Amino acid sequence: MKTIPGRLLPLISGLLLLLSSSVFACTSIIVTGSASKTGCPMISYSCDGEFFPRLNLFPAADHKPGEVRQIFNWYGKDYSISQVPHTYRVVGLMNEHQLAIGESTFDGRPELENRSGMLDYFSLMYIALERAKTAREAIGVITSLVEEYGYGSTGESFSIADKEEAWIMEMIGPGEGGKGAIWVAIRIPDGYISAHANMSRIHGFPLNDPENCIFSPNVISFAIEKGYYDPASGKPFSFSDAYNPPTEEQVRYSARRVWSIFRRAALSMNISPAYSSSEKGADPYPLYIKPDDKLDVQAVIALHRDHYEGTEFDMTANYASGPFNAADRWRPMKWEVNGQKYAWERPIATQQAAFVFVSEARKDIPDEIGGVFWYGLDNPYTNFFTPFYTSINSLPKSYTVGKLSKYSPESAWWVFNFVANYANLRWSYMIKDIQKVQQDIESFYFGNQAEVEKEAFRLLKENPKEVGQYLTNYCVEQAEANIGKWRELGELLITRYNDGYIQDEKGRPHEIGYPEKWLKHTPPAELERYRLTQERNGEGEL
């Protein structure tokens, strides 16, 4: 018997903590081939929540007849399902055939959660990567598995992309004890991009276009049966309206992120934030748009580094950001003052991010070299992304160790997390130091990619067995070296910003104080407390 807990238990235990705290908050971007500079699809996935991530690598394997795969799901239950003869290598959430999968949870109707279903969405993602070569195959694997074993999660949006196509699939359960799942999958048209962020994005869809849209046979009939949709209303069926009817809170929390991704990728469209502000009569954002320019990996990473800067929702430019324009807002998101309810903005770049990836799949490059899993830990605004080719056979130790309950400088996640948290003390100054190192590291990676792959191509031609080890050595050595640079960055911040002073390049401390713009926002009565006595009496300075 082949078991899964030994490989996935650290990740699953962390995600169980995420489930128990009711925090599901992810953002995913889908880029089709003709919308990307490489001509091949990309997806991104920010897995946000207060849990400890570890990067995983599962080698390809052959399995004997009768062998089973164990599943340890959200609800702490252990199941086994039939194994297939061969499973593929998986690095993070991308496999050796350049197939990648991301997600975001939209919950939907609580009565449709099926806790007796065996397979939660994360198990489905990993199993699909182990068993499928293409996005269409992955959809088939996921839907056939839930039909046979039951779906054990709430509403879910999946991003699924291979070397040719990019799809969004949305799924929800049938309720306790029900069979299978209700779902629809749409291929994003070539030349377009899509995004989802904890809110169902599929409204109407074609019923007679199996090449571009597939769905469960009961997707409409089940909604009618449950009273979620009335055909007599004359309104076209909407998956989102039926299974995830939007609330003002969810629209602001989720649609705002989609709006910001779309407005930055297509400035020419001048996309209004009206829907994300729940303005009356505003239409939901389209499932996909055509970007102004083709995107590359760096552009997708940049879309994840967003606090709505330069807009009316800019989280670095209001009184709540403090004297040094800090972007983070501490949970809970909702709060009350004098009986009035309020909520902070929820940005794309969040301190709650556990990890973020961008998958790079290139159809014109052999799989050994073509698939790159660009991976970043913690907040994407204050981290760097490092490449992991899907042919590698081991991982950097710092990306695989640590736990949430104990700080460890040996853990890459804690190294990133420390820098991000310390920066909140004097954000407007420290972020410049962080971005300098961030840009140096990422510029090296992207600038060096062609040279690394040139050598990999040479090896592939002359000695194919050496390609995986060559790329492994590069990925592991560079990741560990750059985590070392990030540790040094943390030490620099502690030294340079100490006791309220800022040291110059010669190590001399300077009194910088608070920005005048922020001090002017201090309530007059509070300012009066600090006015010098001589100033009050017209006697000049003390």
376 assigned to some structural domain? no
Which pLDDT score, from 0 to 100, does residue 16 have? 45
CB 259 within 8 A of CB 271: yes
3-state secondary structure (DSSP) of residue 341: strand
Residue 491 included in any domain: yes
Q: Which residues contact 358 (CB under 8 A, 6 or more apart)?
A: 42, 43, 44, 297, 300, 301, 374, 385
Structural domain including 486 reads 394-503
Task: Give, for 42, the enclosing helix (H) or strand (E).
Answer: strand 42-48
Task: For 490-503, write each residue's pLDDT tens digit.
Answer: 999 999 999 999 99
Is residue 448, in this structure, part of any structural domain at all? yes
Measure the CA–CA gap between 83 and 131, rounded to whole angstroms: 10
**Helix locations, 382-523, DSSP H:** 412-422, 427-462, 467-496, 516-519
Q: Region of 404 please: left (phi>0), alpha (psi -120 to 50) or beta.
A: alpha
Q: How far apart, in whole angstroms, are the C-alpha atoms of residue 32 and residue 518?
A: 44
Beta-carbon count within 10 A of 337 CB: 7
For residues 516 and 327, give the distance between their C-alpha atoms in angstroms, rounded to a whole number.
19
535 occurs within a structural domain: no
Q: Report whether 284 contacts 203 (CB < 8 A).
A: yes
Distance, CA of 131 to CA of 101 (rounded, Å): 13
Phi, psi of 71 (to 5 degrees): -125, 130
8 Å CB contact between 239 and 205: yes
- CA gap 369, 386 in Å, rounded: 15
Burial of 39: CB neighbours in 10 Å, binned 0-12, 13-18, 19+: middle
CA separation for the pair 178, 121 (Å, rounded)? 16
Q: CA–CA separation, 222 vs 233, rounded Å?
A: 16
Quickly tell me which residue has 């990619």 as its tokens. 449
pLDDT of residue 195: 98
Gap between the Cα atoms of 165 and 135, Å rounded: 7
474 lies in a domain? yes
Burial, 67: exposed, middle or buried (Cβ in 10 Å; 0-12, 13-18, 19+)?
A: middle
State the DSSP H helix or E strand holding residue 502, giving kind and residue range, or none if neither: strand 501-503
3-state secondary structure of 58: strand
pLDDT, position 534: 64
The whole-number pLDDT of residue 537 equals 53
CB atoms within 10 A of CB 146: 27
Q: Supply the DSSP string of 179-209, one letter for each residue.
A: -S-EEEEEEPPTT-EEEESSS-------SS-
Q: For residue 68, tell me if it sits in a domain.
A: no
User: How many structural domains is the chain composed of?
Assistant: 1
Nearest to 359 by CA among 106, 28, 15: 28
Write out the chain's pLDDT in tens, 542 residues: 333 333 444 444 444 444 433 445 899 999 999 999 999 999 999 999 989 999 999 999 999 999 999 999 888 889 999 999 999 999 999 999 999 999 999 999 999 999 999 999 999 999 999 999 999 999 999 999 999 999 999 999 999 999 999 999 999 999 999 999 999 999 999 999 999 999 999 999 999 999 999 999 999 999 999 999 999 999 999 999 999 999 999 999 999 999 999 999 999 999 999 999 999 999 999 999 999 999 999 999 999 999 999 999 999 998 899 999 999 999 999 999 999 999 999 999 999 999 999 999 999 999 999 999 999 999 999 999 999 999 999 999 999 999 999 999 999 999 999 999 999 999 999 999 999 999 999 999 999 999 999 999 999 999 999 999 999 999 999 999 999 999 999 999 999 999 999 999 899 999 999 999 889 888 888 888 898 876 555 544 44
Could you tell me the pTM of the whole model? 0.94
Domain-located, residue 415: yes
Q: Which of 385, 391, 387, 394 is nearest to 365 (CA)?
A: 391
404 lies in some domain: yes
The count of other CB atoms within 10 Å of the CB of residue 339 is 5
> Do the Cβ atoms of 320 and 311 come closer than 8 Å?
no
